[in-house]
Structure 1
Amino acid sequence: MKVISSKTPVSRMALGTALLAVALGLAGCGLPRSGPTRGELVGTSEENAVPAHVVPVTAEVARITNVRPPLGFSSKFIKAGTIGSDVIMPGDVLGLTVWENVDNGLLAGPGMNATHLQEMQVDGDGYIFVPYAGRIKAAGNTPESLRRVITAKLAEQTPDPQVLVTRVAGDGATVSVVGNVGAQGVYPLERPTRTLAAMLAKAGGVAIEPEIAQVVVKRNGMTERVWLKDLYTDSRYDIALRPGDIILVEKDQRKFTAMGATGAQTLVDFETQELSAIEALAQVGGLSSNRADPTGIFILRIEEPEVARAVLKRSDITTPQRIVYVIDLTQPQAMFNAQEFMIRDKDMVYVTEAPYVQWQKLLSAITGTVRSADTLSTVGN
């Protein structure tokens, strides 16, 4: 084997040629890129064992795929009538005030003619205990009817007593309001707050953008939700509340992923109830002006069978399908179609790189290799 010493001249041309060959050999498979090319995606339906159908976005496709999240209360929630807001229930906390027309009454202390009994909780069987009146059934009564019962009991022992019964917050006829509201807490069901909208107002209103706010109601193991805007525009959704309801106000949880030659590659929250493909691109900063291929905008989605059947015009589809929707923004009509094509939860919006970008990367690799070869050759010489 011939060993080249440090004194042996090295041909700049030979070394540069060798390094250039290495760069060209690696360029086809080793250049960095943000994802598959347009050709690779369009060829998906033929190459994958589990096919992904490639579908150009047309006005008809945009119309078929425009499926909004099915939010809204069921008939079971809607048809539930309002309950008597004043009916006392087990767990409620009552306040009791008794006035007596004598100086030394049964309950009042010396020099006082009124007695205040606060925080009287109705037990699990629905009873409370009132001194000198005994154990009295409170559940099922209104504060007014309970007042009459207590008055009759005390009238047997003190002349003409006057009784006031109030109901305060407890774990009986109350609802919990949590999430993005002005004041989270446990609120009693009272006459002005027997419906959902009124209770939200009682809790200080909604503290996030109404456009993306959802109201969730949890009741007896059921969880249903509605858009806040629909609650205020459709009176059916202003449902009657029930003791123990949990009301949660939260931001829309839908997200899509932006990938490829866009202004940002990230997981993106929905900012409106309906988000078109054009708006989704704008939300992430649009197309990268020096990288994006406007003919290669893809929305990757797993479509439910009923939508897939309509889009692919096939009646034999019974399972969810992988569909790659293609938008070519160089076509004027495609701009309108993209504006009508709605993004859905868990969609991936992918923009391919323009073909010349790979050539730029290749040339950069070559010129970098040549510069390296020149340096090495200089050192060798």
Structure 2
Amino acid sequence: MKFTLLLVLIASLSGCSVIPGSYIPLEADAEDFDIEEQVNIYAITPSLIAEYRSQPEPKPQLNEELELEIRGYDYEVNRGDILNITVWDHPELTIPAGSDRSPSEAGNWVHSDGTIFYPYVGEVEVAGLRVTEIRAILREKLAEYIESPQVDVTVASFRSKRVYLTGEVKKPGTQPITNVPLTLLEAVSNAGGLTEIADWTSVTLTRNGETTRYSLRELYRQGDTRENVLLRPNDIIHIASNDAAKVFVLGEVNKPTSLNIGRSDITLAEALADSGGFNQAIANANGVFVIRKAPEESGKVAEVFQLYARNATALVLADQFQLQPRDIVYVTAAPVARWNRLIAQILPTAQAVYFVTLSENEITNSN
């Protein structure tokens, strides 16, 4: 009996804090909120899911410009590179690489003035030339001393050009530009791939002071090679973390949380499950809302999707409804009849989330 009385006493003392907290308190000016002017409202139904699915699936896109660049690619020698020059049948003109010297140590270094020194020929300007052009110059000059010289020129060490990888890759640092074309996808692979917290949709390439954003997600999942590019000397590639690519689960769930969107999508069902599911004691099954920033051209503040989750069929729809970065999932305890005023309270928070995201992107692009 004492234990029962104690439970009744605790319940009476905590009632003031538990019951008011089961819904968002409504401000006086919420009654003046015109929801039709501010938001687009949709019910999550089979027809809505079918409408999204009816949109044509993206097909793999061939980047013809990239293919042409790769076909016409030829490395140009520059200061700091080391050349390996061979004149056949004339070993006195070829410095062999012995067991104690690598080809780069035995080669001809391109000096800071862009020249190399070669016997009989003297100084030769090679900076900015292809190996085929250097070979032709040496053959012509050696022909004065050797009959029909056979000359071969290769790059023993590529030291003059590089690209920089920063951010969420497993091995950030520099990578050399060589005689093999280096693309964005190959550079990321050479760096060990992306980390677990990388944002696959936010890969920025800074070139000559201009920044362009690419999406490896579109490249990997849909084969859109337009998201790939041939890298050039001094390019800076930065892979952002997925701190901004989040969805937020709030309200009457067992564990309000934020979830990162990685390489794969997150559905509404997954977001609810990862947040511990509904609070069965006070959650309103018809009060599951997804609040999303509306397209700029719509003139609206947000788009609101409502799920009627009273039966298992609704959970199937939730598993087919894909969330987007910065979506807010809100489960309310308030009756559905009050959801108009409820959304009026949530929208300022939603707008703040979108504003913070926009500011972060502007700061990233400016850097």
Which amino acid letter does the alignment assign opposite residue 21 of structure 2? Answer: R
Q: Does the C-alpha gap of structure 1 residues 169 and 103 become closer, same or farther in structure 2, counting only changes over 3 Å?
A: closer
Deviation at 1:30, TM superposition (A): 10
Equivalent residue runs for 1:185-224 within 5 Å: 185-201=173-189, 203-208=190-195, 213-214=200-201, 216=203, 218=205, 219-220=207-208, 221-224=210-213
In the alignment, is the contact (CA less than 8 A) between 1:211 and 1:229 conserved in 2? no
C-alpha distance after superposition, 1:53-73 (max 9, x if no partner): 4443223344556899x9x99
For the residues of structure 1 that align with 2:33 and 2:63, how far apart are their CA atoms?
44
Q: 1:278 is aligned with what amino acid?
A: A
Task: Give, in whole Å, the separation in 1 of the partners of 2:32 and 2:308.
Answer: 22
The code of the aligned residue for 1:60 comes to S
Aligned to 2:353: none
1:35 and 1:95, CA in 2 relative to 1: closer, same or farther beyond 3 A?
farther
Q: 1:243 aligned to 2:228?
A: no
Shift of 1:255: 0.9
Assess if the C-alpha contact under 8 Å between 1:45 and 1:52 holds in 2: no
Paired residues, number: 307
Q: What letter corresponds to residue 338 of structure 1 in structure 2?
A: A
Larger radius of gyration: 1
Unpaired runs of 5+ residues, structure 2, are 1-12, 97-102, 336-367
Moved more, 90-99 or 259-268: 90-99
Further displaced range: 203-212 or 257-266 = 203-212
Aligned twin of 1:234: 223
Instruction: State the shift of 1:107 in Å.
Output: 9.3
Q: Cα distance, 1:354 vs. partner?
A: 6.8
| Cα shift readout 1:60-107 (whole Å, capped 9, x = no counterpart) | 344556899x9x999796565216544215456233457899999899
Q: Work out the CA distance in 1 between the residues paired with 2:131 and 2:217.
A: 34
Residue 288 and residue 302 in structure 1: after superposition, are their counterparts in 2 closer, same or farther (change >3 A)?
same
Deviation of 1:352 (Å): 1.5
Q: 1:267 aligns with which of 237, 253, 258?
A: 258
Match of 1:128 in 2: 115
Instruction: Check the 8 A contact 1:80/1:240 in 2, yes or no.
Output: no
Q: 1-side partners of 2:46 and 2:198: how far apart?
A: 26
1:29-48 counterparts in 2 under 5 A? 32-33=20-21, 35-36=23-24, 47-48=32-33
* 1:323 and 2:303 aligned: yes
In the alignment, what sits opposite 1:256? 247
Deviation at 1:298, TM superposition (A): 1.5
Higher relative contact order (Cα pairs below 8 Å, separated by 6+ residues): 1
Deviates more, 1:160-169 or 1:216-225: 160-169
- Name the SS of the counterpart of 1:33 in structure 2: helix
Task: Work out the percentage of aligned pairs sharing the same amino acid.
Answer: 19
Q: State the 1:199 CA deviation.
A: 3.7
Letter in 2 for 1:243: R
> What secondary structure is seen at the aligned counterpart in 2 of 1:278?
helix
Q: By how many angstroms is 1:251 displaced?
A: 4.9
Q: Does the 8 Å CA contact 2:38/2:300 hold for their aligned counterparts?
A: no
